[in-house]
């Protein structure tokens, strides 16, 4: 793969066909996803817990979480466009992946230590800033990873590539979600926190997560040699000379913005139709991530909503040991539940490509979302109950019967999650022009970020004004939205549905 090889553009169509990758190289390309999702899982399962410990009230949690989709909305299109234009000795996507991983690891190390900054800045503010840094860095890393798979994996291996990606993401999510529970119940670290501080088990989980993130990303960066420009262009059927002229042309900011909006408004039809599915799916996921911890703490462990109110906590001075223990146990169990849905997602990812090949991608996608929606609604069936002894192989714990029962709906949530991670990208990748894959993947992130922003803005008022601060009810709403996502899948037209989709796009 010489950087100076220009003969690729002169090859015959047969010679220019992108070669299949060895099976383990498909794994190498995606391995960094394991570490990135390890970090995401720690954040998803523990950010609400950390922010509550640092002083956030129940209604403001979703507003703190809004930084995640905002960072994605801002960062991913910029990074996608930049990585499309980057060709140097370190690669095309790899420099962005590595830089983002380093920044994310730093954010993970600092966020749970917000208490050390109390002399300079309020811990809740410091925690929010570190959450923003983490999310921005996760997005810098994640977006080029999506494009890297599209770059390196030929079309006939694309569903396999995204299925492996989904599998690795969920292995990382299982380990990341369970880590605080393991550190408490196996290693013996304390899982309760004092006012304005974070539990030691959560702090050390974030340290370990940062290490796994860096290690897995370094593996992908050093084990994946990206195609040189001429070779990549030949495999994708692109004109190297024309691309060189376009990239050499300097454009003003207004010209770039104009080009970006042209791309936005001329996006492939499939991409527009998938946006509706994404809206319902990610609206539901955001609610689940933000409110599962308070919902389980209230509904299963029986902790009153007032114990999530910082004003009330300030008035009583000290959290009673029983309440602190219940909140700590519930927070740890949410990690187990999130690990469970990630485990079921990983298992489903193994057969996802075969299922999609047998019944079709759209039916697979729709049925998966419908099952996930019904399972979120079924949370209502599991409340409190007698204390039950549970053997989790790695340790034994005692939890309310309702907590144990919640492992069952995690099967459907996991199946939906696996489909959300793989199916839209598998469907979309065939509709994108090869020279705009990075920027379009970045634009497609709008369909992930926008519903989460909407969810963040409306979830708090809904919780207070409609659901009387009972967080379990807003999880039921999430289930309804997931089911609507399943219905909207049938309005998506795949390339095979209409012969060919118009993917003409202006140049950014």
Of 104, 87, 335, which Cα lies nearest the Cα of 215?
A: 104
Confidence grade of residue 507 (pLDDT, cut at 50, 70, 90): very low
Give the integer Cα–Cα distance in Å for 147 and 437: 6
Q: ∠ CA(112), CA(118), CA(122), 5° rounding?
A: 85
pLDDT of residue 404 exceeding 80, the answer is yes
Q: ∠ CA(237), CA(241), CA(247), 5° rounding?
A: 100
The full set of domains in the chain, from first to last, is 11-498 (1.20.1250.20)
Tokens 């209409």 -> residue: 498
Q: ∠ CA(361), CA(421), CA(29), 5° rounding?
A: 105
Give the integer Cα–Cα distance in Å for 172 and 340: 12
- Using one digit for the tens of pLDDT, what is the confidence trace for 44-69? 777 777 777 776 667 677 777 777 77
β-sheet bridge partners, residue 399: 388
pLDDT of residue 228 exceeding 80, the answer is no
Sign of CA dihedral 330, 334, 339, 345: positive
Inter-residue contact 130 to 220 (CB < 8 Å): no
Give the global pTM. 0.71
pLDDT for position 252 = 61
pLDDT of residue 96 exceeding 80, the answer is yes
pLDDT of residue 471 exceeding 50, the answer is yes
Cβ-Cβ contacts under 8 Å for 480 (sequence gap 6 or more): 373, 377
> Which is higher by pLDDT, 492 or 12?
492
Q: Tokens for 254, please give them.
A: 């207004």
Q: Tokens for 3, please give them.
A: 């950087």
**First vs last C-alpha separation in the chain:** 27
pLDDT of residue 500 exceeding 50, the answer is no
pLDDT of residue 251 exceeding 70, the answer is no
Which of 272-281, 319-328, 422-431 is the most confident on average?
272-281
**Mean pLDDT computed over 273-293:** 92
- Using one digit for the tens of pLDDT, what is the confidence trace for 327-370? 888 888 998 998 899 889 888 988 888 898 888 888 999 999 99
- Using one digit for the tens of pLDDT, what is the confidence trace for 9-58? 344 344 477 778 888 888 888 888 888 888 888 887 777 777 777 766 67
What single DSSP character describes residue 408? T
Give the integer Cα–Cα distance in Å for 486 and 378: 17
pLDDT of residue 206 exceeding 80, the answer is yes
pLDDT for position 269 = 77
Residues above pLDDT 90, as percent of the chain: 18
pLDDT for position 361 = 86
What single DSSP character describes residue 249? S
Cβ-Cβ contacts under 8 Å for 217 (sequence gap 6 or more): 32, 35, 36, 97, 98, 101, 141
Q: What is the dihedral of CA 106, 107, 113, 119, to 10 degrees?
A: 100
Inter-residue contact 375 to 411 (CB < 8 Å): yes
pLDDT of residue 239 exceeding 70, the answer is no
> Which is higher by pLDDT, 293 or 502?
293
Give the integer Cα–Cα distance in Å for 109 and 103: 10
- Using one digit for the tens of pLDDT, what is the confidence trace for 119-177? 566 666 776 777 777 777 877 777 777 778 777 877 777 777 777 877 787 788 888 88
């Amino acid at each position: 793969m010489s950087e100076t090889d220009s003969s690729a553009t002169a090859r015959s169509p047969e010679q220019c066909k992108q070669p299949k990758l060895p099976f383990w190289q498909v794994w190498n390309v995606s391995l960094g996803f394991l570490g990135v999702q390890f970090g995401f899982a720690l954040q998803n399962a523990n950010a609400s817990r950390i922010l509550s410990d640092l002083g956030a009230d129940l209604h403001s949690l979703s507003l703190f979480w809004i930084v995640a989709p905002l960072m994605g909305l801002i960062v991913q299109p910029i990074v996608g466009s930049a990585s499309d234009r980057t060709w140097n000795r370190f690669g095309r996507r790899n420099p962005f992946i590595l830089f983002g991983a380093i920044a994310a690891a730093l954010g993970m190390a600092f966020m749970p230590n917000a208490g050390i900054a109390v002399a300079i800045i309020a811990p809740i503010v410091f925690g929010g800033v570190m959450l923003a840094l983490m999310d921005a860095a996760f997005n810098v890393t994640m977006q080029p990873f999506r494009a890297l798979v599209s770059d390196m994996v030929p079309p006939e291996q694309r569903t396999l590539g995204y299925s492996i990606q989904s599998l690795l993401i969920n292995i990382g999510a299982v380990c990341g979600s369970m880590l605080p529970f393991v550190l408490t119940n196996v290693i013996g670290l304390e899982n309760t926190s004092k006012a304005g501080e974070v539990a030691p088990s959560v702090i050390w989980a974030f340290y370990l997560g940062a290490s796994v993130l860096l290690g897995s990303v370094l593996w992908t960066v050093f084990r994946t040699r990206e195609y040189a420009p001429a070779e990549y262009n030949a495999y994708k059927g692109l004109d190297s000379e024309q691309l060189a002229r376009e990239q050499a042309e300097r454009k003003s900011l207004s010209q770039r913005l104009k080009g970006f909006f042209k791309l936005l408004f001329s996006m492939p039809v499939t991409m527009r139709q998938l946006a509706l599915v994404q809206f319902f799916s990610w609206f539901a996921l955001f609610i689940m991530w933000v409110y599962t911890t308070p919902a389980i703490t209230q509904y299963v462990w029986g902790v009153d909503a007032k114990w999530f109110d910082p004003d009330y906590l300030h008035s009583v001075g000290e959290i009673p040991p029983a309440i602190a223990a219940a909140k700590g146990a519930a927070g740890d169990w949410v990690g187990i539940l999130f690990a469970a849905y990630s485990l079921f997602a990983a298992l489903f990812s193994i057969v996802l490509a075969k299922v999609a090949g047998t019944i079709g991608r759209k039916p697979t996608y729709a049925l998966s979302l419908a099952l996930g929606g019904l399972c979120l609604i079924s949370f209502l069936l599991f409340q409190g109950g007698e204390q039950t002894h549970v053997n989790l192989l790695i340790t034994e714990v005692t939890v309310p019967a309702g907590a144990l029962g919640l492992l069952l709906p995690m099967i459907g949530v996991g199946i939906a999650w696996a489909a959300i991670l793989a199916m839209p990208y598998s469907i979309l990748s065939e509709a994108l022009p090869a020279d705009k894959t990075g920027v379009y993947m970045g634009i497609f992130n709008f369909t992930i970020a926008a519903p989460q922003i909407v969810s963040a803005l409306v979830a708090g008022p809904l919780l207070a004004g409609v659901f009387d601060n009972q967080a379990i009810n807003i999880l039921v709403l999430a289930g309804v939205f997931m089911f609507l996502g399943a219905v909207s899948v049938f309005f998506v037209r795949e390339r095979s549905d209409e012969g060919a989709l118009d993917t003409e796009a202006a140049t950014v």
